[in-house]
């Protein structure tokens, strides 16, 4: 559990994309034993699904940050993102958080978890990607607005 706190804190406090990515990875690795703590096929399946989605999102984020650093020469989180790498990074972070429309994996994972671990996945695991989204310097807020509207509509419709 202290590793969860360390990973989130590292992602929060870093000003370099590589350190933020390492913090997100520490966070992912730290939650996996909690997901599979209850030795049941549904819990193991949930942990495996969570791992595959998080690794996909992490590798996509690393690709976007590397592409942006290659094109601009900067690894700073607050540095301006170019449009294509910025969009890819936002998509990767929203996949990591489970925001609509990239949320289809989240109910599948939550079905195999107990309440305590489910609450950790739904709250704590979203803090670091949300902080990184907040720190990103994007010139156009249209994508954020679209994601907020889609999430609101999907959440209201699902409820």
Domain positions in the chain: 1-158
- The verdict on pTM exceeding 0.75 is yes
Supply the Cα-derived Rg of the chain in whole angstroms: 16
For the chain, the average pLDDT equals 89
Residue 80's beta-bridge partner residues?
137
- Measured in degrees and rounded to the nearest 5, phi and psi for residue 98 equal 85, 30
Tell me the average pLDDT across 84-113. 89
- The candidate with the shortest Cα–Cα distance to 21, out of 82, 69, 84, is 69
Closest CA to 62 of 96, 89, 97: 89
The answer to whether residues 131 and 12 touch, using CB atoms and an 8 Å cutoff, is: yes
pLDDT one-digit tens code per residue, 6-36: 999 999 899 899 999 999 999 999 999 998 8
Q: What is the pLDDT of residue 45?
A: 92
Structure tokens at 119: 């609450």
Distance of CA 39 to the CA centre of its chain: 26
Q: Is the pLDDT at 1 greater than 80, yes or no?
A: no
Among the residues of 14-99, which ranges form H helices?
17-35, 41-72, 83-97
């Amino acid at each position: 559990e202290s590793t969860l706190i360390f990973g989130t804190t590292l992602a929060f406090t870093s000003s370099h994309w590589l350190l933020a990515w390492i913090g997100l990875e520490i966070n992912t690795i730290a939650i996996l034993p909690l997901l599979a703590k209850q030795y049941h096929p549904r819990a193991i399946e949930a942990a495996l699904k969570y791992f595959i989605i998080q690794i996909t999102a992490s590798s996509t984020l690393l690709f976007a940050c590397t592409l942006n650093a290659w094109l601009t020469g900067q690894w700073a989180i607050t540095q301006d993102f170019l449009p294509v790498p910025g969009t890819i990074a936002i998509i990767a972070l929203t996949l990591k958080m489970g925001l609509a429309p990239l949320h289809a994996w989240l109910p599948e994972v939550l079905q195999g978890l107990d309440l305590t671990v489910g609450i950790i996945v739904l709250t704590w695991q979203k803090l670091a990607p949300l902080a990184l989204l907040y720190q990103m310097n994007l010139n156009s807020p249209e994508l954020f607005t679209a994601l907020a509207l889609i999430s609101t509509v999907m959440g209201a419709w699902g409820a």
